[in-house]
Amino acid sequence: MHHALVVVTPFVHQVYGTSPYQAASSFLQLNKGDTLTITEQKKYIHGSGWFLLMDINNDCSLYMATHEIDTFYAQGYVCTLADLDLKKNYYEYKINESLDLQNHDDFNLYIEKLQEVTELKHRFEDTDKPSFRKVV
């Protein structure tokens, strides 16, 4: 089974070699809408911990430390499809509430957020189309 995450806030990931003695080799810019699919391949490196092979936009693969993936999720850089569904439901609720209260500003704010989440969800569900990113 493969699990996937979608980037909701752009960030730069420092790519490390697969040896504990290798220094960071490059940086990878992850953009909003990029999809990170967790594959079943993993490896343990003594002194560094577990690394999972991540497929990025069905375009390239790299190993990421599990603690980094947890950090990206906790800091809100990535989320799951279920998280996007929850956000969508919340924004729909807030739109209905703002209509009931006749609050024009909140209505416009939540419409904008709903459109953003809906677009991310569509990009997330259609991972066959890679998005190109710059490696620095």
Which pTM was predicted? Answer: 0.79
Burial classification of residue 134, based on how many CB atoms lie within 10 Å of its CB (0-12 exposed, 13-18 middle, 19 or more buried): exposed
- Supply the pLDDT for residue 100: 96
How many domains are there within the chain?
2
On whether both 25 and 70 belong to a single domain, the answer is: yes
On whether both 16 and 67 belong to a single domain, the answer is: yes
Q: Which residues contact 104 (CB under 8 A, 6 or more apart)?
A: 98
- Supply the pLDDT for residue 112: 97
On whether both 7 and 72 belong to a single domain, the answer is: yes
Q: How confident is the model at residue 17 (pLDDT cuts 50, 70, 90)?
A: low
**Mean pLDDT calculated for residue range 59-67:** 91
Q: Is residue 85 part of a domain?
A: yes
- Supply the pLDDT for residue 80: 94
On whether both 12 and 70 belong to a single domain, the answer is: yes
